Structure 1
Amino acid sequence: MYLAVQAVQQEGYGSIQLLCELAGIARSSYYKWLSRTPSRQERDNEKLMQEMLLLYEQVERIYGYRRLALHLRRQMNQPINAKRVYRLMKLQGIQSVIRRKRKTYAGSTPQQVAENLLNREFHAEAPNQKWVTDVTEFKYGSGKKAYLSAILDLHDKSIISYVLGHSNNNALVFETFELAVQAAPQSHPLLHSDRGFQYTSLKFKEMVDKAEMKQSMSRVGCCIDNGPMESFWGTLKCEKYYLHTYRTFEDLQKDVENYIHFYNNERLQAKLNGLSPIEFRTKAA
């Protein structure tokens, strides 16, 4: 309670007298607490809080208490309970950015379709066994649109390739696929997508066959069949795109590129044993 009064008062939200009355404590007791020698635990909490707030601002307030705890454990090289970080966040009145709801889009008539071979088996034993792919939309400037195509490896959740373009067309998807093949030339993963017109085109089927890959597609209206890719879009938009307003395509492109590098190389994931995707991928290799 004393810490809460101190934190709120330091933010300039009220006098000591008023805050003590609201907290139900005597002002003399608060000043007695204030003048005492802090315990080791309190000093540790103060140090942890400062590191937490610094990290929180560095990542533009996108981390919740679990991910903050994950990064702080590595940064401070000591065990840190996530619930402890949660309590400190509550004390400081901070929380992670809230996700926005995803829009839905109308389907198209396919030239060819593939079975749902992935069948929501999102675990992969090794790199380049299972890839998922999709395209998402961004807005910038005065109603202008940009489209991001990407391929994600289910083994380590790393982004294998991506292309940001002005049009949601075949060229965007084809280039993304070609870049992925170049990145893993000797690999023949299962490639899963939704039933977007690019993926159901005969040309794309030819490219997949030439690369000796198997094609898999989500069932109609079942976005959860491509859940990991949808999850990445939500993470990217929540942790970067929604936090900014973009005037130009170049501004958007710069942030997308910076975020994907951050996501692949620096963003630790509990499901990857506290490693970043590239660290987990390198360890597997």
Structure 2
Amino acid sequence: MCRRFEGGAYKMPAMAPLPKSRVSQDVPFSSDGLDYLGTIQVKFECETRKRWICLFTCTVTRALHIEMVHDLTSEEFLYALRRFNSTRGTPCAIVSDNASQFKLSSNAVQSVWSQVIHDEDVQNFASNSGIRWSFIIELLPWMGGFYERLVGLVKPTLRKTLKKKLLTDVQLQTILKEVEAIINSRPLVYVGDDINSRITLTPSHFLSLNPKVGIPEIDFDIRDPNYKRCESSSDKLLQLWKKGQRLLNSFWAIWREEYLIGLRERMQT
């Protein structure tokens, strides 16, 4: 009876401030979340073998990078991390689940992952590369929500694409990179009704300035009026670099003015 008359209406608790790594402008993939997902069966000669996916998520631009690993050994993970560093640059920080919370297919896989992340070679490589590796607090899985969200995008995409088909290693690697490109082209901000309005920001805008990978033209006057009078190739390259920098600055402006503002919204169900 007291609860009925004195309880009052439900009040949603105030949202805690987002971590600095989520709201600070930085080079893509400087700070990342790391997760594993799988397994995926592939054809290998006259048998099938298991493959896993190592998923890197940029905390700032929400971009995705996928690497396929053949097993859950520390050696395979190191190779995947080295490929990631060579492609996207060495990150300053990596966040991942604790071994006891790593959501994989079985307890056996969890114990293997525990050995991987605490392996001496892995820790030495991270230390020598200047990578600060941290783990989310136990029993607080929501702290890894920023990369679990992308795991939730990759899984159904692969499930709907592959269905019950068995691919080879090369075919699976190709599919994974295509899935990566598709997810990186998703909008980060609301899509406006006006087709002539400012661009719809996507993670791929920060990864490439090549219009052939989905970067639309912008109605900004970003070209130097003296561009056509440049005679040497070095001057032309410099002008192209400046153009790319102006494009990138416009993307960061949209990121600050639209994307960060949207992070404050909370949906009530």
The TM-score range, normalised by the shorter chain, is 0.5 to 0.7
- For residue 248 of structure 1, give the secondary structure of its aligned residue in structure 2: coil
What is the aligned partner in structure 1 of residue 267 from structure 2? Answer: none
Structure 1 Cα separation of the partners of residues 141 and 20 of structure 2:
11
For the pair 1:125 / 2:28, whether they are aligned, the reply is no
CA pair 188-168 structure 1, distance change in 2 beyond 3 A: closer
Structure 2 Cα separation of the partners of residues 182 and 281 of structure 1:
14
- For residue 157 of structure 1, give the secondary structure of its aligned residue in structure 2: coil
Deviations 1:160-180 (A, max 9, x none): 4x3213312212321222123
Q: Which of the numbers 137, 146, 169 marks the counterpart of 2:51?
A: 146
Q: Judge which range, 205-214 or 120-129, deviates more.
A: 120-129
Q: Which of the numbers 176, 187, 190 marks the counterpart of 1:268?
A: 187
CA pair 253-188 structure 1, distance change in 2 beyond 3 A: closer
Matched residues, number: 165
Largest Rg, 1 or 2: 1
What is the aligned partner in structure 1 of residue 35 from structure 2? Answer: 134
What is the aligned partner in structure 1 of residue 224 from structure 2? Answer: none
Alignment root-mean-square deviation, CA:
3.0
What is the aligned partner in structure 2 of residue 245 from structure 1? Answer: 164
TM-score normalized by the length of structure 2: 0.52
What is the aligned partner in structure 2 of residue 176 from structure 1? Answer: 80
| Distance apart, 1:134 and its partner CA | 1.5
- Contact map agreement 2:33 2:58 (CA 8 A) in 1: yes
Percent of aligned pairs with the same residue? 11
- For residue 240 of structure 1, give the secondary structure of its aligned residue in structure 2: helix
Structure 2 Cα separation of the partners of residues 271 and 178 of structure 1:
35
List runs of 5+ in structure 1 lacking aligned partners. Answer: 1-117
For the pair 1:256 / 2:176, whether they are aligned, the reply is yes
- For residue 168 of structure 1, give the secondary structure of its aligned residue in structure 2: coil
List runs of 5+ in structure 2 lacking aligned partners. Answer: 1-17, 99-112, 192-198, 209-247, 253-269
What is the aligned partner in structure 1 of residue 203 from structure 2? Answer: 277
| Distance apart, 1:209 and its partner CA | 0.8
Deviations 1:54-94 (A, max 9, x none): xxxxxxxxxxxxxxxxxxxxxxxxxxxxxxxxxxxxxxxxx
| Distance apart, 1:200 and its partner CA | 2.2
Deviations 1:157-203 (A, max 9, x none): 1124x321331221232122212322354x55111112342222222
Structure 2 Cα separation of the partners of residues 242 and 123 of structure 1:
33
CA pair 124-199 structure 1, distance change in 2 beyond 3 A: farther
Structure 1 Cα separation of the partners of residues 146 and 77 of structure 2:
18
| Distance apart, 1:271 and its partner CA | 7.2
CA pair 249-169 structure 1, distance change in 2 beyond 3 A: farther
Structure 2 Cα separation of the partners of residues 229 and 124 of structure 1:
17
What is the aligned partner in structure 1 of residue 97 from structure 2? Answer: 194
| Distance apart, 1:278 and its partner CA | 1.9
CA pair 188-248 structure 1, distance change in 2 beyond 3 A: closer
Deviations 1:7-27 (A, max 9, x none): xxxxxxxxxxxxxxxxxxxxx
Structure 1 Cα separation of the partners of residues 201 and 77 of structure 2:
29
CA pair 255-184 structure 1, distance change in 2 beyond 3 A: closer
| Distance apart, 1:121 and its partner CA | 5.7
Deviations 1:193-238 (A, max 9, x none): 1234222222211111111121111223433222122111110112
For the pair 1:229 / 2:147, whether they are aligned, the reply is yes
- Contact map agreement 2:54 2:68 (CA 8 A) in 1: yes
Structure 2 Cα separation of the partners of residues 260 and 191 of structure 1:
19
What is the aligned partner in structure 1 of residue 260 from structure 2? Answer: none
